[in-house]
Amino acid sequence: MTASEESISIARAAAHAAAEKIAKDIVAIDVSERLAITDVFLIASAPSERQVNAIVDGVEEALHKLDRRPVRREGRSEGRWVLLDYAEVVIHVQHEEDRVFYALERLWKDCPAIDLQLEATSAPAEQE
Residue 83 resides in a domain: yes
Instruction: Please say whether the beta carbons of 21 and 7 come within 8 A.
Output: no
Domain of residue 91 covers 5-115
Taking alpha carbons only, the member of 6, 41, 48, 1 closest to residue 24 is 48
> 126 lies in a domain?
no
CATH of the domain at 62: 3.30.460.10
pLDDT the model gives residue 124:
42
Specify if 56 maps to a domain.
yes
Q: Considering the domain boundaries, does residue 124 fall inside one?
A: no
pLDDT tens, residue by residue, 67-126: 999 999 999 888 899 999 999 999 999 999 999 999 999 999 999 999 999 875 444 444
